[in-house]
Amino acid sequence: MAHLEIVDVTRRFGDFLAVDRVTLSIAVGEFFTLLGPSGCGKTTLLRMIAGFDQPDGGRILLDGKDLADLPPEERPVRTVFQSYALFPHMTVQGNVAFPLKMAKTPPAEIPAKVAQMLEGVRLSGFAGRFPHELSGGQRQRVAIARALVTHPTLLLLDEPLAALDAKLREEMQIELINLQRDVGITFVYVTHDQTEALALSHRIAVMNKGRVEQVDEPDRLYSFPRTRFVADFIGTCNLLAGPVTDTTDGVATIAVSNLGPVVVAAGVAPAQGAAGAVALRPEKVRLAAPGTAAAAANRFAGTITGFLYQGDVTMYMVRAAQGHPMEALLANSASGLAKFFEVGDAVEMSWPADAGHYVEDETR
């Protein structure tokens, strides 16, 4: 049985559909992430799970029990927000002990529970400090300790690392992975940061305009995006769009304007004339000097218009002969070789039919 079931949940603000018939099924112990751009409805969905807001339609069930009539404080659910929301006048000890006092835990049991929780977030020795005496990362760890001390079955985290700088955020990501594994409870995590979602999650639901576009494991989302939106949102992607002109033996041909006909392996053959696109990761595009490219299903002439040297890799911007912009990522793995091409160089781009991935082009 699913642990958390969200069935056809809708939330309207006036005429505006903030959450549009979302259905999700989340298992016990999962690190599950809602990923999407700002304003796509992530926080609204989280608030309904927590009980701070009510759906206009649909149901939310936890272990098979409908949560509709349960106020937030009676749900076995805790939330950690982006802003730390610690009590500023209380010490770390006081902050973490607070939910235990509210739950009428016998006072004699509280110090041991707080100490254990602080150890879990690596803050033993900080019990006597006040929030203003802590770094941003430490404050967020206190917030997580306070949320977990009453052993909720579900922890909701709304962009908890968004206020931290990049280095600290990376450290906290690793800590969150370890913490979630150690405590073994279900995490529902909200972020607009795709790299964070890919790094942390067992599964990700990609949201767009209140709807869930795809639910999958991180590597499946990256390699097999189902829609143009998902392909574009998860990592860098060449999107080669146009009408489907042919489908034969599981290979579709798409007439891409400003490029030419592109062939792509398509698991489920799209209909002739359908609006399609090929999602092609830059690392799948090979670049060679004209006339030297190996045989491949897709070959196009182009010119280098720019490049970004990134140390281990270089991203090349290429304009196809007919004008379509492309990106190709080359590894600088050959020793001593940091650059293959200069701006203005003529090149041949090539990739096999199975290098790209067919997606429906819902924007047309």
Residue ranges binding Mg ion (CB under 5 A): 43
Residue 326 interacts with which of ligand ADP, Mg ion, none, CB < 5 to 8 Å by class: none
Decide whether 81 or 84 has the Cβ nearer to ligand ADP: 81
Decide whether 36 or 302 has the Cβ nearer to ligand ADP: 36
Least separation in angstroms between residue 230's CB and ligand ADP is 16
Taking the CB of residue 58, how many other CB atoms lie within 10 A of it? 17
Residue 3 interacts with which of Mg ion, ligand ADP, none, CB < 5 to 8 Å by class: none
Question: In the complex, which residue's CB is closest to Mg ion?
Answer: 43
Decide whether 37 or 243 has the Cβ nearer to ligand ADP: 37
Decide whether 81 or 351 has the Cβ nearer to ligand ADP: 81
Residue 44 interacts with which of ligand ADP, Mg ion, none, CB < 5 to 8 Å by class: ligand ADP
Decide whether 45 or 240 has the Cβ nearer to ligand ADP: 45
Least separation in angstroms between residue 299's CB and ligand ADP is 41
β 357-360/298-309 pair status: unpaired
Least separation in angstroms between residue 206's CB and ligand ADP is 12
Torsion on CA atoms 318, 320, 325, 328, rounded to nearest 10 = -40
Decide whether 40 or 50 has the Cβ nearer to ligand ADP: 40
Least separation in angstroms between residue 54's CB and ligand ADP is 12
Q: How far apart are CA 218 and CA 198, in angstroms?
A: 5
Decide whether 43 or 350 has the Cβ nearer to Mg ion: 43
Least separation in angstroms between residue 145's CB and ligand ADP is 24
Place of tokens 């309904």: 48
Name the residue among 243, 252, 259 with its Cα closest to residue 358: 252
Residue 91 interacts with which of ligand ADP, Mg ion, none, CB < 5 to 8 Å by class: none
Least separation in angstroms between residue 210's CB and ligand ADP is 7
- Check if the beta carbon of residue 290 is closer than 8 Å to that of residue 345: no
Instruction: Please give the order of strands across the beta sheet that includes 275-280.
Output: 260-265, 251-256, 238-248, 275-280, 357-360
Least separation in angstroms between residue 36's CB and ligand ADP is 6
- Check if the beta carbon of residue 356 is closer than 8 Å to that of residue 224: no
Decide whether 193 or 360 has the Cβ nearer to ligand ADP: 193
Residue 185 interacts with which of ligand ADP, Mg ion, none, CB < 5 to 8 Å by class: none
Residue 39 interacts with which of Mg ion, ligand ADP, none, CB < 5 to 8 Å by class: ligand ADP
Residue 13 interacts with which of Mg ion, ligand ADP, none, CB < 5 to 8 Å by class: ligand ADP
Binding site for ligand ADP (CB under 6 A): 13, 18, 36, 38-44
Decide whether 3 or 192 has the Cβ nearer to ligand ADP: 192
Please work out, in degrees rounded to the nearest 5, the angle formed at the alpha carbon of residue 184 by the alpha carbons of 183 and 185: 95
Least separation in angstroms between residue 131's CB and Mg ion is 23
Residue 87 interacts with which of Mg ion, ligand ADP, none, CB < 5 to 8 Å by class: none
- Check if the beta carbon of residue 307 is closer than 8 Å to that of residue 317: yes
Residue 302 interacts with which of Mg ion, ligand ADP, none, CB < 5 to 8 Å by class: none
Least separation in angstroms between residue 191's CB and ligand ADP is 10
